[in-house]
Structure 1
Amino acid sequence: MSSFARTLRQALTVARRDFTATVFTPTFLLFLLAPVLMIGFGTVGGIGAQSIVGDDAGMKMVVIAPPAQAPVLLATDKQLRKLFPKKGDLTPPPLTIETPTGDPAAQARAYFDNEKFDAAAVLFGPLDKPEVLYARRGWSEAQFLSQLAEQTLRAQKLGSTTPLATVTQTVVKRGQASPGGRGQAASIGVFAMFFITLFLSGQAVGTMAEERSNKVIEILAAAVPLESVFFGKLIGMFGAAVLFVLFWATIIINATQLLPAEVAGSFPSLVAAIGAPIYALLFILYFTMAYMLLGAMFLSIGAQTSTQRELQMLSLPITIFQMMMFGLALGAATRPDSWIATAAQVFPFSSPFAMIGMAGSSPAIWPHLLALAWQVLWVAIIITLGARWFRRGVLKSGSPKRKSKIEAAAA
């Protein structure tokens, strides 16, 4: 058996041991359900923030006008609302027509002290010279009422609110990816890979701490080379990460099939420049390399720690480093022909993120073959250096120093 085959078999043995010890535990179930906890905390935080900022559901717009103008105002309001998304955050609040009583200006100001509803904006006066009062959060509503007065006045002069033009609208599907769609596909690919890697690769930091505490690492180091131990542990953690990704990907894919047709059709169609099948394959390959690169570095650094306090102190620098790689790759995705893109594609730890961004914006294939080979080389370098660093710094079993010629002659 060749040395490579023996090293690979030893690494797979360590990987199977670590994968079994990680997955077949109750803690891994909590790890799988961690996104549910994140979504729950985010929902609670959003509800709390909304309650602090204030709810716009009780806001209204008021127009003080004679009853004869009410039908035209309501018809014009209905036409203007077609310009806004249905049930969206930009949709203007409901419109109320009030009959003027006494002083319209005083009546308008009184609506802002009303206890039944919050007045966002109030319009009063003749439509050719109207006045609009609005609250601090009602600037957009004030603009809406201004246009309502303008369009209502035009409708009155025309004598009808019926649209003058009959418009036929047809959705056109592009035959190829648009520049904007390619840019969005690149950015979304970078963000998706960063989020998954951020959530999973940091788990590799503490994998060696337990082995050091119970002296198992000494048994492993005596049985197999440390390079096989490091590589095997990295493969085992990656197997657990793949299981996590497959679990949630299955849930998301099946959940999207249950969505109504109008909701599913509202999502933008993003087309990668390199093509959907190749893009999906490259996403898997680059996720693998991103996990291997960051995991190998975190495993090597975490292997030098001896206490949980040291591991906790490493969490912040690791998170900052990952954010830096994400920022560099995102800058490369938004500026594909700049020096930032070249630097992000060459630097090994940001290369997988930058290259998946390039796959979304450029149809070229050969740079990905070169990048994958470059990243595999760096995974081997990091594992080798990490194992040697661990052997010399922790196990204190490095090779003896070579004697100089003078020392050898003196001996």
Structure 2
Amino acid sequence: MIETIRAAFVIARRDFTAIIFSKSFFFFLLGPLFPLGIGIAASNLGSQVNRDIETPTIGVVLSAEETENLLATRTRLSRNLGSKFLPELMVLNGLQGDEAGIIAKLDSDKSINAILSGTLEKPVLTGSERDVSQWRGKITLLAETALSQPAAVEVETRLVGQTGSSSERGQLLTAQGGQALLILLTMILAGMVLSNLVEEKTNKIIEILAAAIPMDAIFLGKLFAMLGMALVGIAVWSTMGLVGALVFGANWNALPVPAVGWPIFGLLMVLYFSMAYLLLGSLFLGIGAMATTVREVQTLSMPVTMGQLLVFFLAYSAITKLGHPVEWFAVLFPFSSPFAMIARAAQMENLWQHGLALIWQAIFTMIIIRFSVMLFRRNVMKSGQAARKKSLFARVTGK
């Protein structure tokens, strides 16, 4: 085992230095400029989807008579304006005149966007700045219609820093952004493992290495060398992005904070990218073991690429279904697990689950590498049962 690790380190150092100090690596670093526009478009699409699935709810803390009047007014207006035009109303009991209780309710109940209190003549809308500005006009419409008076009703607002509902929406946006970034980087970078292996197969370099070093060490070394190259590229791109954000004066406070906090979330992004890269890279090594020409590489890699998109869609669709069977399947399925787990990091605070997920992904990576080595030995090194049968046939027939 120690000898295999040492040999893998030698291969990794050889491939890593050869790639990093090559002229083509500079052009490789310019690659993300092209898919950057795609990433921005995907982010806008995710925001639109989030707006479409959001169901706003306003808590009502009024007298029994005014509450009944307000609910009847909403029902009447919904017939003409549509149910989606007006927010849902939820009656909250026991909070009349309790300002601290109203704020505590907003912070603890993620299903409520804002709370309407006071009276219909002098309503008070409590919530985050975003929710208050969004629903103030429609609450005014409801109050004026309920009072059946032409005079305008002035809605008093009371702002809080962040409600449970706004916090949940922010974490959902962080989860969507983390998943989109992971899939984009993985699909851009993982394919280089395949091209590197096929190139060395064509030049017969891989057979020379296999004569002196165990195949497991060669595959491990190549995989981690490409991972190191990918992390160097990501570090360069992140630095460029940080400099650009500082130059253009980005508003860092506007970034939704993930449940585990930004430092741990950033570390988990690196770890889950590494696992997603190793999983897909090990699969590409198996494809490279079977392919002998560039045309075969393209034919065999296309289903994997399409499958990776399906895996991403699975994890993306499970973001809002934490704890549901489909979300658990996305967490346990190795190829979707990194994307599903980074969404959990944005929305759930507990950390122990990430340790288990990383161990499970690492075990499955080793299984795929062993299978890829077996394929390589059978297809390139001509070892195994098929080769022995062929050799026996040649000795019997003399051919």
**Global fold match (TM > 0.5):** yes
1:18 corresponds, among 6, 12, 15, to 15
Select the residue among 165, 180, 185 that pairs with 1:196.
185
Taking the aligned partners of 2:356 and 2:155, their CA distance within structure 1 comes to 56
Shift of 1:194: 1.0
Closer, same or farther: CA 366–310 of 1 in aligned 2, 3 Å = same
Larger helix percent: 2
Cα 1:309–1:183 shift into 2, 3 Å? same
AA of the residue aligned to 2:217: S
Residues 177 and 272, structure 1, Cα contact 8 Å, conserved in 2: no
Report the 3-state secondary structure (helix = DSSP H, G, I; strand = E; otherwise coil) of the residue aligned with 2:190: helix
2:359 to 360, 373, 392: 373
Note the C-alpha offset of 1:326.
0.6
Which of 329, 335, 339 is matched with 2:315 structurally? 329
Cα deviation, 1:263-315, whole Å, max 9, x if unaligned, reads x3398431212222222221111111111111111111122111111122234
The equivalent of 2:378 in structure 1 is 392
Once residues 166 and 158 of structure 2 are traced to their aligned partners in structure 1, the CA distance between those partners, rounded to angstroms, is: 22
1:211 aligns with 2:200: yes
Distance in 1, Cα, partners of 2:262 & 2:32: 27
CA distance 1:207–1:344, shift in 2 (3 Å): same
What CA distance in whole angstroms lies between the structure 2 residues aligned with 1:42 and 1:330?
Answer: 15
Q: Which amino acid aligns with 2:5?
A: L
C-alpha distance in 1 between matches for 2:281 and 2:330: 18
Structure 1, gaps ≥5 residues long: 44-156, 404-411
How big is the shift at 1:166? 10
Equivalent residue number for residue 34 of structure 1 = 31
Are 1:224 and 2:209 an aligned pair? no
1:241 corresponds in structure 2 to 230
Q: What code does the residue aligned with 1:220 have?
A: L
**CA shift in 2, pair 1:400/1:325, >3 Å:** closer
Pick aligned residue for 1:348 from 315, 334, 352: 334
- Between the aligned partners of 1:306 and 1:400, the Cα distance in structure 2 is 18
Do the aligned partners of 1:206 and 1:303 also contact (CA within 8 Å) in 2?
Answer: no
The alignment's C-alpha RMSD in Å is 2.9
Aligned to 2:161: 172
1:174 CA displacement? 5.5
Query: How far apart are 1:397 and its partner, in Å?
Result: 1.8
Aligned counterpart, 1:5: 2
User: Is 2:273 aligned against 1:284?
Assistant: no
Match of 2:6, as an amino acid?
R
Q: Give secondary structure in 2 for the equivalent of 1:178.
A: helix
Aligned to 1:133: none
Query: Which residue of structure 2 lines up, in the alignment, with residue 269 of structure 1?
Result: 255
1:299 partnered with 2:285: yes
Answering whether residue 312 of structure 2 is matched by residue 317 of structure 1, we say: no
Asked if the contact 1:187/1:334 (under 8 Å) is kept, the reply is no
CA–CA distance in structure 2, aligned partners of residues 299 and 235 of structure 1? 12
Q: 1:40 to 1:186 in 2, by over 3 A?
A: closer
Kept in 2: contact 1:205–1:303 (CA 8 A): no
Cα shift at 1:37: 4.0
TM-score (norm 2): 0.64
Q: Which amino acid aligns with 1:206?
A: S
2:80 corresponds to: none
CA distance in 1, matches of 2:353, 2:225: 29
Q: 1:401 to 1:376 in 2, by over 3 A?
A: same
Measure, in 2, the Cα distance between the counterparts of 1:292 and 1:273: 26
Shift in CA distance, 293/181, structure 1 to aligned 2, threshold 3 Å: same
What is the match of residue 368 of structure 2? Answer: 382
Q: Distance in 2 between matches of 1:32 and 1:373?
A: 31
Which residue does 1:141 correspond to in 2?
none
Identity over the aligned pairs, expressed in percent?
41
Cα 1:278–1:37 change in 2 (3 A) is: closer
The Cα shift of 1:393 comes to 2.3
Local SS of the residue matching 1:334: coil
Q: Which residue of 2 aligns with 1:257?
A: 246
Distance 1:344 1:359 in 2: 14
Instruction: Evaluate the alpha carbon distance shift between residue 399 and residue 222 of structure 1 in structure 2; reply closer, same or farther with a 3 A threshold.
Output: farther
Q: How big is each residue's C-alpha offset from its partner over 1:217-248, in whole Å with a ceiling of 9 and x where there is no partner?
A: 11111111100000000011111101110110
- State TM-score, norm by structure 1: 0.62
CA offset at residue 398 of structure 1?
A: 2.5
Equivalents in 1 of 2:184, 2:253: separation in Å?
A: 20
Q: 1: CA distance between counterparts of 2:265 and 2:166?
A: 13
1:67 maps to which residue? none
Paired residues of 1:351 and 1:375 also in contact (CA < 8 A): yes
Task: Pick closer, same or farther for the CA change 1:179–1:325 going to 2, 3 Å.
Answer: same
